[in-house]
Structure 1
Amino acid sequence: MNGDLLVRTIALVLIRKTGRDVKLDPNLSSLQIAAEVSRRSVAMFRGMVTLCGPVFRGRGVRLRARRNLSFGRGASIGDFTVIDARASRPVEIGSASKLGRYGLVTTTSSLALVGVGFKMGERSGIGDFFHIGCSGGVDIGDDVIAGPFLTVHSQEHRYSDVSTKIRAQGTVESSVTVMDDCWLGSRVTILAGTTIRGHTVVASGSVVKGDFPPNVVLGGVPARILKTLD
């Protein structure tokens, strides 16, 4: 077995042990593959030491209320992402799922209110620079993919009393659910009380609020159904 084939074989074995089944691009050199394997191995070692399990933990990751965190096999947390798990239920990241770099999962906006929490299914991925506010609870299903700059808000401010400052009127919490097999484009915003059902595509830049049927394409501000998928 030549060196290039050996490197590719080792990489595939390591990847598949995390629950992923991928093919390596033939244009990648053995040196490039080896560098990525080395980087991921360091992240896995970091996860094994600090989280006591087969989890890829990137550089500079910060975890709060770690005892309320649960990671499936091969879950991945990108560099400099923060997860705040101070919630009424466990914060769960499923097997082979990935949170991107420079993101934030926040469950509790203040000491006056403990948030509900966050659950992410298996084989799902969220791009870099995301913000997921889980005060009212956020559930993301299996096989969901989301581009960078995703923002999810499960809390809204009251504002109807014109005689009282908005910041003094308090908040309303309402859950957000993204069901299995959805694709959320880059810079999508999902507001409190929203349910996105299975096999739905959300166009980049959309602002989504409401309860939508499955098998549709959503887009716009506010988002509406652009197409039904057969």
Structure 2
Amino acid sequence: MLRNIINKIVSWIKGEKFELDPRIPLNYLLSFFLNRGLMFLCGMWKLRRIYRVFIHYTSTIKCQRLIKTMHNLSVDRYCYIDALSTDGISFGTNVSIGKYTTIECSGTLKYIGKGLTVSDNVGLGTHGFIGCAGGVEIGANTIFGNYVSIHSENHNFSNCNIPIRLQGVNRKGIKIGRDCWIGSKVTILDGTNIGDGCIIAAGAVVRGEIPPYSIIGGVPAKVIKRRNIGEVVKPT
């Protein structure tokens, strides 16, 4: 009976059908939902607004006024989110952020960054890093593995007579399409545009234009096959 009630409540909150695994112990469920209740109260306090937002008390939120969110944002423990930027951070509905994840919108106070846009039903894995100085956009229904890092900014280094740290930065921005699966420990570099429906193999280093529905992997990452036609790409 209790499980059916929970299934209905969670389905209503998420806007899609949800069913608990019947093997989950009842005491585990009670502990889980008690924690969610505390995260809900903490979310209202940290963002200074009333939404269905769940933020663990150990997580740090900076420049909360620059964060726009729809319902059901979930921020797990020990996350760090700094929204200082020109455009701030926009979260869609049903976005989850795994524990120990860092989101920084500006790499320096000399020249603040652009910001981050995350669409609906996006899941960011644990221990991630998202640097949004050049602007990062993540499409709906995209999921991230653990330890994914995104860097939308590069250091200038053309002048060998000046230390690299004093040569400034350049920014192109990063776009990740809808319904993508980004594997564990993937690194995505500035200037990357990942098309819809792509799968990025674990450990890949990604830069440049990635066609929609590609499966890519390697360092640097290359197209291995296409999801829509299933043809293996012959090396050139």
Would you say same fold, with TM above 0.5?
A: yes
Aligned to 1:47: 43
Q: CA deviation at 1:9?
A: 2.5
Cα distance in 2 for partners of 1:70, 1:16 equals: 23
Is the CA contact 1:11–1:33 (under 8 Å) kept in the aligned structure 2? no
From 180, 183, 186, the equivalent of 2:181 is: 183
Aligned to 2:145: 147
Aligned to 1:209: 207
Aligned to 2:10: 15
Aligned to 2:130: 132
Is the CA contact 2:46–2:64 (under 8 Å) kept in the aligned structure 1? no
Cα distance in 1 for partners of 2:36, 2:227 equals: 37
Q: CA deviation at 1:27?
A: 1.4
Number of paired residues?
225
Aligned to 2:55: 57
The one-letter amino acid paired with 1:38 is L
Is the CA contact 1:11–1:37 (under 8 Å) kept in the aligned structure 2? no
From 95, 109, 112, the equivalent of 2:110 is: 112
The one-letter amino acid paired with 2:46 is T
Give me the TM-score of the superposition, normalised by structure 2.
0.91
Cα distance in 2 for partners of 1:101, 1:87 equals: 23
Of 189-198 and 27-36, more deviation after overlay is shown by: 27-36
Secondary structure, aligned partner of 1:167: helix
Map residues 211-230 of structure 1 onto 2, 5 A cutoff. 211-230=209-228
Aligned to 1:76: 74
Q: CA deviation at 1:26?
A: 1.8
The one-letter amino acid paired with 2:8 is V
Cα distance in 2 for partners of 1:10, 1:41 equals: 16
Secondary structure, aligned partner of 1:46: helix
The one-letter amino acid paired with 2:131 is G
The one-letter amino acid paired with 1:178 is I
Q: CA deviation at 1:58?
A: 1.1
Aligned to 2:20: 24
From 164, 167, 171, the equivalent of 1:166 is: 164
Unaligned runs of 5+ in 1: none
Cα distance in 2 for partners of 1:186, 1:11 equals: 31
Q: CA deviation at 1:208?
A: 0.2
Secondary structure, aligned partner of 1:18: helix
> 2:32 aligned with 1:36, yes or no?
yes
Of 32-41 and 201-210, more deviation after overlay is shown by: 32-41
Q: CA deviation at 1:99?
A: 0.9
Q: Which runs of 4+ in 1 moved over 6 A?
A: none
RMSD in angstroms over aligned alpha carbons?
Answer: 1.3
Aligned-residue sequence identity (percent) comes to: 30
The one-letter amino acid paired with 2:19 is K
Cα distance in 2 for partners of 1:219, 1:93 equals: 28
Q: CA deviation at 1:188?
A: 0.5
From 81, 97, 100, the equivalent of 1:99 is: 97
Q: CA deviation at 1:206?
A: 0.4
Cα distance in 2 for partners of 1:222, 1:116 equals: 26
CA deviation map 1:73-121 (0-9, x unaligned): 0111111111111110130111111111111110111111110000111
